[in-house]
Structure 1
């Protein structure tokens, strides 16, 4: 199995991460962007879907979801935990998103929750056009960036919001939200982990 850059540490911790991620309600995790989410049935892309918590939440709201997760240990657990017919699971990874590109679908909402900080600057710049290509005209892209100490065994890079916003503008993505906030989890809060939430609309 080829190594996917940025997934370091996740397979070994899959069981503990399942408990941790699933204990955080999606409505709370994404409180800053609830007003930006589609109110009617939409096609949603969740890149780095992890345990499927958010994918299942979107499905429960009536959306169809394509969930992308490159770590097999997480993806297999997520599929068992959230066996929704509204969720299609795909083994694909950034920066290329080659499998998604071959499907040639566009989505009214694209989510990258705690994903982009796993890529170094060169990988992020390669990834952004491939992400933007999956956002439908008039659609929404929502990104959360993690700031703070890197857990042992993980690969993360400090990512400034402007290094995302500036190239996103060049790709036809207009920023509509740039908000900093604290972690909702006690462990992350104690470690000094904070988050930036970015949202963009794609010009029709």
Structure 2
């Protein structure tokens, strides 16, 4: 399934997908969780960074960003479109993020925008443990959780927010905020897609 999803994104990159993604305002998309991102410069990991739209926007706010993206076409487009000394790229993916871990860094903020729906429950449990290991004590994992069907070529798995919260708690991540919003993309809105933004804080001395 993972290879099918990655191929779906590679194929989409040859169409209008990149243009549609780039047309989305990061400020608008992240408005519901922006209060959780420090105003002072900090270290951010953008998991499933895609074209680097959000990574570049965060870098423009003086943050230092590692952009992890497994799809070659999207990562290469991002490196070309959003060259910045404050953004470094790594080819990597959940659930294990092994190349990111090998960097030996931890982060104040870990962002997952439109990623969680591509993991099954078993991988989600693994991923949460990995995300906790990459987050400093007191830092936050910010994720969007999709409710609704995805593109046929990029399969999605239903996600239960309460299960995510419970699994997160077990590895030392406590839910501190959640909010639901409609999709910012008109096609998804018409299809009834909604998102839950979930903010998890790494407990001091947690797993």
Same fold (TM over 0.5): yes
Please name the residue that 1:41 is paired with: 41
Matched, 1:175 2:187: no
Report if aligned partners of 2:165, 2:175 keep a CA contact under 8 Å in 1: yes
Q: What residue is the counterpart of 1:150 in the other structure?
A: 150
Match of 1:74 in 2: 74
**2:115 alignment counterpart:** 115
Within 5 A, what are the aligned runs for 1:86-101? 86-101=86-101
**SS of equivalent to 1:9:** helix
**Unaligned residue ranges in structure 1 (runs of 5+):** none
Task: Measure how far apart 1:179 and its partner are.
Answer: 1.3
Q: Does 1:137 align with 2:153?
A: no
TM-score (norm 1): 0.95
Contact 1:117 1:145 in 2 (8 A): yes
Per-residue CA deviation, residues 127-148 of structure 1 (Å, 9 max, x unaligned), is: 1101111111111110101111
Using structure 2 for the length normalisation, give the TM-score: 0.94
Contact 2:59-2:87 within 8 A present in 1 as well? yes
Residue of structure 1 in register with 2:11 after alignment: 12
Counterpart secondary structure, 1:32:
coil
Q: Which runs of 4+ in 1 moved over 4 A?
A: none
**Alignment length, in residue pairs?**
202
Q: Indicate conservation of the 8 Å contact 2:139/2:201, yes or no.
A: yes
Q: How does 1:27-66 map to 2 (within 5 A)?
A: 27-66=27-66
Structure 2 counterpart SS, 1:162: helix
**SS across alignment from 1:117:** helix
Residue aligned with 1:167, SS: helix
